[in-house]
Amino acid sequence: PCRLFHGCNRLLTSQIISYYDSVNQCKKELPEYFNFASDVLDEWSQLEKDGRRPANPAFWWVNDEGVEVKWSFEELGFLSRKAANILSEVCGLQRGDRVIAVLPRVPEWWLVNVACMRTGIVFIPGTSQLTAKDILYRLQASKAKCIITNDILAPAVESVMPDCQFLKSKLIVAKGSRDGWLNLKELF
């Protein structure tokens, strides 16, 4: 039995396995290039615009105080393209470059994640429990050119900066500004 979710049929496990088996047996052709952001999210956005798919939230986030952020597929697409432009144009990142995001799972984390998918930039998530030593190791091992964090972890990043030769851009997700950092919210 198939459950309905806001008017859309959900895939059954057997359907997913069947599709996987058909790909494995070379009965379905895989695209040469696949980009989740443009091939799935943007397609769903277009289906909603055309009235061929009911409007559903693509992203729905609620914090501990009950503050909600809810984006449609169109809004998520628009905002993730903006984030991709920030990474590409402001930070100068290109396909294959690495970005480390040491943030709690705030909406900006998801935007940067989708933006990296769009651009081919490698997204490296890090837990907000990392210490300065942990951050240094990840920056050196990955040769990341950009780090994105919040005002709580920015001092830890600053303490290891002299040992991070590849790091070129620092983005902060905060209400205020910080010397030497680009504020992601202000850039939006």
Is the predicted pLDDT of residue 24 greater than 80, yes or no? no
Distance CA(167)–CA(180), nearest Å, equals: 13
* Domains and their CATH numbers in the chain: 34-186 (3.40.50.980)
In order of 25, 29, 159, the CA distances from 111 in angstroms are 35, 30, 27
Is the predicted pLDDT of residue 14 greater than 70, yes or no? no
Can you say whether the dihedral through the CA atoms of 122, 128, 148, 180 is positive or negative?
negative
Distance CA(68)–CA(61), nearest Å, equals: 6
* pLDDT for res 160: 96
pTM of the shown model: 0.81
CA torsion angle 89 95 101 105 (round to 10): 90
CA torsion angle 129 131 136 137 (round to 10): -70
Round the CA-based radius of gyration of the chain to a whole number and report it: 19
* pLDDT for res 59: 94
Query: How does pLDDT run across 170-179, given as a tens digit for each residue?
Result: 999 999 899 9
Query: How does pLDDT run across 58-108, given as a tens digit for each residue?
Result: 999 999 999 999 999 999 999 999 999 999 999 999 999 999 999 999 999
Is the predicted pLDDT of residue 153 greater than 70, yes or no? yes
Distance CA(41)–CA(33), nearest Å, equals: 15
Say if strands 182-183 and 68-71 run parallel, antiparallel, or are unpaired. unpaired
Helices 42-49/73-85 angle, 10° precision: 140
